[in-house]
């Protein structure tokens, strides 16, 4: 067969090795395998998505084994940041973006490999975070919203069609996604690296690192030679830290979480409640006692206290000096109470005892109802 040449002078692949029976026939457009993959491409992507979700469940179960594994998140964070920078150097963004459907085979292969690696790293990080943030969050408080955000990000990282065709098509969207992941990871990792650090300091440091990483994705290192850009970077970092502090009540205080909490009329000699109640009549109340056990795997860097609320209004706040008592190892046990003279005249309604840090982050909540 006479080999045909294309307009740019290259040999037509179908003229030699691409013909049926040739050594590279299985790579040609007419090969059965290529036809099968093309015909079932979307189905295969959903199969991989199902596999990714199953892998995510495994990571969640693995995370239950211990807080010490959180240190490994640092390696994944660095790898994803580098891949994002390289990805948009190769493929661009917006109008400069090289569309996957029309790109040459080499570019398509680089696209698939880089996004595949990033997806796996994101899945490992996000699904690892979820159980820690879930335990630290309080369902009926605003900080559950951040857990929901991490959950949405985790699911998106498993959806190939969304990740490849939406998330990685825009540098801004990709960098925001990375920033959420980075902030969540750093907020958890810092207490593992620096024991006894206050949660607010970990949160503000995570916000600062996130601001720098976001900036460096969009600006080359050479931009640091400009004093104006350096000043702008400092302002952005300061704004990020300020935003982190302002939003502290919206972020669960990982890795701390409430292991157990209850309310009762009397405390035994060993510190436990003689009776735990969820509902009682106001006529039998002479005093109320609350006991809460807080798990502190990152060390005791925060001062904790009880805030008693009745129908949303603060009744009493107890400092840690008056509430902390001896408890099991690895726990901070807080105990506080209200005697009859401290009780409001109207007892009926919903009561809450919030365990909070000195900076106002909610660790956990105990509720009970008083009837009249």
Query: Looking at residue 58, what is its pLDDT?
Result: 59
Structural domains in the chain?
34-250 (no CATH), 257-371 (2.60.40.2840)
pTM for the model stands at 0.79
**What per-residue confidence (pLDDT) applies to 94?**
47
Instruction: Using the Cα atoms of residue 121, residue 58, residue 300 and residue 304 in order, give the sign of their dihedral.
Output: positive
Structure tokens at 280: 């009682």
Q: Are 323 and 306 in contact (CB under 8 A)?
A: yes
Q: Give how far Cα 260 sits from Cα of 56, 108, 269, Å.
A: 28, 52, 18
Q: How far apart (Å, rounded) are the C-alpha atoms in residues 342 and 353? A: 15
CB 181 within 8 A of CB 153: yes
> Within 10 Å of residue 353's Cβ, how many Cβ atoms?
27
CA distance 77 to 187: 13
- Let me know the angle formed at the C-alpha of 211 by 209 and 213, rounded to the nearest 5 degrees: 70
Q: In the prediction, which pLDDT does 9 show?
A: 46
How many angstroms separate the most distant Cα atoms in the chain?
104
Which tokens sit at 7?
Answer: 């307009």
- CA neighbor of 237 nearest in space, from 225, 229, 227: 229
pLDDT block averages, 10 residues each, the chain of length 372: 46 46 51 59 61 59 61 72 73 51 62 82 88 94 97 91 86 92 92 89 96 88 85 95 97 94 88 89 90 86 93 88 65 89 89 95 96 89
């Amino acid at each position: 067969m006479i080999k045909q040449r294309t307009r740019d002078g290259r040999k037509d692949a179908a003229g030699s090795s691409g013909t049926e029976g040739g050594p590279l026939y299985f790579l040609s457009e007419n090969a059965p395998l290529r036809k099968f993959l093309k015909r079932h491409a979307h189905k295969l992507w959903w199969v991989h998505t199902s596999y990714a979700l199953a892998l995510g469940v495994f990571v969640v179960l693995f995370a239950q084994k211990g807080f010490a594994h959180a240190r490994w998140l640092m390696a994944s964070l660095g790898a994803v940041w580098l891949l994002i920078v390289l990805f948009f150097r190769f493929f661009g963004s917006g109008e400069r973006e090289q569309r996957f459907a029309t790109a040459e085979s080499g570019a398509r292969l680089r696209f698939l490999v880089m996004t595949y690696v990033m997806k796996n790293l994101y899945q490992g990080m996000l699904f690892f975070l979820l159980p820690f943030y879930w335990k630290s969050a309080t369902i009926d408080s605003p900080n559950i919203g951040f857990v929901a955000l991490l959950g949405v990000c985790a699911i998106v990282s498993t959806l190939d069609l969304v990740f490849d065709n939406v998330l990685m098509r825009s540098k801004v969207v990709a960098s925001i996604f990375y920033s959420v992941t980075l902030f969540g990871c750093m907020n958890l990792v810092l207490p593992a690296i620096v024991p006894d650090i206050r949660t607010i300091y970990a949160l503000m440091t995570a916000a600062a690192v996130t601001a720098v990483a976001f900036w460096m994705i969009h600006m080359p290192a050479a931009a640091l030679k400009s004093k104006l850009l350096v000043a702008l970077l400092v302002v952005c970092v300061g704004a990020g830290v300020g935003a982190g502090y302002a939003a502290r009540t919206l972020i669960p205080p990982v890795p701390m979480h409430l292991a157990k909490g209850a309310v009762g009329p009397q405390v035994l000699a060993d510190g436990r409640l003689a009776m735990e109640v969820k509902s009682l009549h106001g006529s039998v109340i002479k005093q109320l006692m609350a006991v809460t056990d807080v798990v502190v795997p990152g060390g005791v860097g925060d001062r904790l206290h009880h805030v008693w609320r009745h129908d949303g209004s603060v009744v009493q706040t107890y400092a840690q000096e008056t509430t902390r008592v001896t408890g099991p190892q690895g726990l901070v046990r807080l105990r506080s109470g209200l005697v009859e003279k401290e009780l409001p005249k109207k007892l009926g309604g919903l009561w809450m005892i919030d365990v909070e840090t000195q900076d106002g982050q909610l660790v956990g909540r105990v509720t009970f109802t008083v009837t009249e």
